[in-house]
Structure 1
Amino acid sequence: MLATHGFLARGVDDLELTLSVCGGGDANDPLSIGIAGEDPLLTGRPRIAVTPDFGVAPVSREVRARFTTACDMLAGVAAVVPSSPDCSGAIETFRTLRATHIANSYGELLRTRRAELTPTVIWNIEAGAKLSAEDYLNAERRRTSIYRSFRELFTCTDFLVAPAASVFPWPNEISDVAAIDGVELETPIDYLAVTFIVSLVGFPVLTLPARRGKNELPFGIQIIAPPACESRLFAFGRALDNELGFSHRRPPL
């Protein structure tokens, strides 16, 4: 499944503790076994690949500017190199896989409780119903290629860093982002591409808030690691918290 459970916390330590309790294999769940192997902590200066958009995701100019600032700060604690896996076709692949899963899981709701569904859910169920088995299998094939491209990137880098959202927070009355920098998006989910590309390959990712000025809107980065490397991911996140102040900022009381 493309849907992924995650945790929200005020610090890296709390996230690591939660994962230690909830993570691990279950004989009744074939998807929980994961990848066995060692996850030694890094020594020396980490190597980081950074990308504002994976080469394909729509990302606003404002977010790109804040991401550049965050990367400049990261350069103080790591060797930073602009680079990205080959994600060509990733958006179309995710659209196909998501639509088929949603149509399969919630298609009955469209027939019985349509009035209670959001327009985006209705659109995605209907889009999934039009897809064929060949469409699905072709998307899975492309997904594998993108996964291998991520694996290849991690042969020469320790982490991959990207923005955690394509736009800054928007008013609650707007349900979905329909355009970025005045350019209309093709579908209601395309503004999520900068994060759903990571969901597509299923690599572990830690999202941290970047430092911001007094009047700046919240902005975060996602730090991606190779499979089964959660320990080093938490260790690096803790270093960014301590050394750069990439941490939750409590509101003044």
Structure 2
Amino acid sequence: MTSDPLTLTAADQAHAIREGRLRATDLMAATLDRIEAVNGPLNAIVSMREREVLLTEARAADKAEAKGPLHGLPLAVKDLADAAGLPTSHGSPAFSGQIAAVDSPHIAPLRAAGAIVIGKTNTPEFGLGSHTYNPVHGVTANPYDLTRSCGGSSGGAAVALAAGMLSIADGSDMMGSLRNPAGWSNVYGMRPSWGRVPGGAEGDVFLHRLATNGPMARCPGDLALQLDVMSVPRKGGLRGPDFAPVGALRGESAGLRVAWLADWNGALPFEDGILPLCEAALDVLGQVGCAVDSPASPFSREALWQSWTALRSWAIASDKSPMYEDETLRRHLKPEAIWEVEQGRALSALDVHAASVLRSDWLRAADAFFERFDVIALPTAQVWPFDKALDWPKSVAGQGMDTYHRWMEVVVPASLLGLPAVAVPAGFGPQGLPMGLQLIGRHGDDARLLELAEAYHRATRWPETRPPIL
């Protein structure tokens, strides 16, 4: 057993606790010591519970029978989700101090499997924008350069993993929120197939099928461990086909056909150095038995963007209109949220239908494309981590951005169809900043993507290149 339990994977931590080679109390103490040592300048974990209360829960875990595969593991919950007894601020003063009465549907099984919730992870206000800052908890710094953004909206989770403050973390992904921060923090993030992990406990379950919850970790095996726990059916919620548990990964990847779509036939701007770095990562996929090709992009960039922006704004307007209509609450909405609501409210029913038709066209094109390829590969972002004092990049490679989120357009193909996508670390650029690669599969191909990610991880071990703060 290593003298530092924080260097172990989550699976190894849990196994050691079950075998009595590691006490949950010692893991908790080491976790809290690490948070005390490094979280200050990073600001990744917020709303921490008291140390002695957490140690008491860890001692109880040591005395009890193992509750499940996460028994005794510390977990901090993204601050868009509810964890009973903890505040859920959504990064907004309108909800600051609001205490959750019950766990969100995807958090309850994690706690039931034995995870001990220690606090929350920081997120942008309402999860809007891929840069983790808000007026309640402030900005979260990139662990590889404290002056830079860590991405978002699962930024706090990614940074906590990179800095060794957690071994697993939850997140959510509408527009790359499990992928961009993973890429910018040199860890793994997974957007599962839509319907695999339960969503919200209230509201519509039919129309707004854009976002999903999912796992983050420092290795694909821990993604699989957490995904299997999170993948539970929920009464009253839509769910995809019966997904078999992923289980232990073997790294099987030989013969997979990978389509590298790069900049979508020149349609997407990228900062210098990103595409060559990702192409070097693709060489690793070739080394582990994949056949990598560079075909033409299978669909119109503008049609994807038109469909995405309409359906996204419509979903956000549906969710945030009650706040928008209340003048007292509206002042708590950041400009990007107000813009989204106003865009969504201006849409007619026929506008939404037209956007859905475009999405259906992309589905048909993607189905045909996946007859030729097993995996689509794209970068996790179009820019390197930017100055954390900025709100968002106004231009990319000299091309002006006409919205606050267009610089993240590269994540839309998977999001629009609810496809599974695993973000794997691609390495570091000349300035020492991390970047990631999206591996996207057919709906239901979660296990296949995780096997590919595992083969890649065994060949690269990028998360072992630890942040300077450690």
TM-score, L = length of structure 1: 0.90
Q: Given that residues 240 and 246 in structure 1 are in contact (C-alpha distance below 8 angstroms), is that contact kept between their aligned partners in structure 2?
A: no
Equivalent residue, structure 2, for 1:80: 292
CA 213–102 in structure 1, closer or farther in 2 if over 3 Å, else same:
closer
Deviates more, 1:55-64 or 1:231-240: 55-64
Q: Given that residues 91 and 197 in structure 1 are in contact (C-alpha distance below 8 angstroms), is that contact kept between their aligned partners in structure 2?
A: no
Equivalent residue, structure 2, for 1:47: 257
By how many angstroms is 1:214 displaced? 7.6
By how many angstroms is 1:247 displaced? 4.1
Give the alignment of 1:43-122 within 5 angstroms: 44-55=254-265, 56-77=267-288, 78-83=290-295, 84-88=297-301, 89-112=303-326, 113-122=329-338
Give the counterpart letter for 2:291 in structure 1. A
Give the counterpart letter for 1:81 in structure 2. D
Q: Given that residues 163 and 221 in structure 1 are in contact (C-alpha distance below 8 angstroms), is that contact kept between their aligned partners in structure 2?
A: yes
Pick the structure with greater CA Rg. Answer: 2
Give the counterpart letter for 1:28 in structure 2. G
Q: Given that residues 93 and 140 in structure 1 are in contact (C-alpha distance below 8 angstroms), is that contact kept between their aligned partners in structure 2?
A: yes
Q: State how many pairs are aligned.
A: 251
By how many angstroms is 1:7 displaced? 2.0
Cα separation, 2, equivalents of 1:63 and 1:198: 19
Give the match's secondary structure for 2:273: helix
Cα separation, 2, equivalents of 1:245 and 1:203: 26
Give the alignment of 1:147-226 within 5 angstroms: 147-212=363-428, 215-226=431-442
Q: Given that residues 161 and 221 in structure 1 are in contact (C-alpha distance below 8 angstroms), is that contact kept between their aligned partners in structure 2?
A: yes
Give the counterpart letter for 1:50 in structure 2. W
Q: Given that residues 203 and 226 in structure 1 are in contact (C-alpha distance below 8 angstroms), is that contact kept between their aligned partners in structure 2?
A: yes
Cα separation, 1, equivalents of 2:275 and 2:413: 17
CA 60–251 in structure 1, closer or farther in 2 if over 3 Å, else same:
closer
Give the match's secondary structure for 1:80: strand
Cα separation, 1, equivalents of 2:343 and 2:315: 11
Cα separation, 1, equivalents of 2:270 and 2:300: 15
Deviations 1:101-159 (A, max 9, x none): 11111012123222211111111111111110000001001101112211211112121
Equivalent residue, structure 1, for 2:241: 35
Deviations 1:71-105 (A, max 9, x none): 23333232110133314400111000011111111
CA 205–227 in structure 1, closer or farther in 2 if over 3 Å, else same:
same
By how many angstroms is 1:210 displaced? 1.3
Q: Tell me how large the CA RMSD over aligned residues is.
A: 2.3
Q: Which has the higher strand share?
A: 2
Q: Given that residues 253 and 452 in structure 2 are in contact (C-alpha distance below 8 angstroms), is that contact kept between their aligned partners in structure 1?
A: no
Deviations 1:8-30 (A, max 9, x none): 21111111011101114334212
Equivalent residue, structure 1, for 2:224: 16
Give the counterpart letter for 2:292 in structure 1. V
- Runs of 5+ in structure 2 lacking a partner? 1-207
1:250 equivalent in alignment to 2:466: yes
Identical-pair percentage: 28
Q: Which has the higher helix share?
A: 1
Give the match's secondary structure for 2:215: coil
Deviations 1:151-196 (A, max 9, x none): 2111121211100111110112111222101211122221121112
The structure with higher relative contact order (CA 8 Å, sep 6+) is 1
By how many angstroms is 1:35 displaced? 3.1
Q: Given that residues 316 and 340 in structure 2 are in contact (C-alpha distance below 8 angstroms), is that contact kept between their aligned partners in structure 1?
A: yes
- Runs of 5+ in structure 1 lacking a partner? none
Give the match's secondary structure for 1:142: helix
Q: Given that residues 317 and 340 in structure 2 are in contact (C-alpha distance below 8 angstroms), is that contact kept between their aligned partners in structure 1?
A: yes
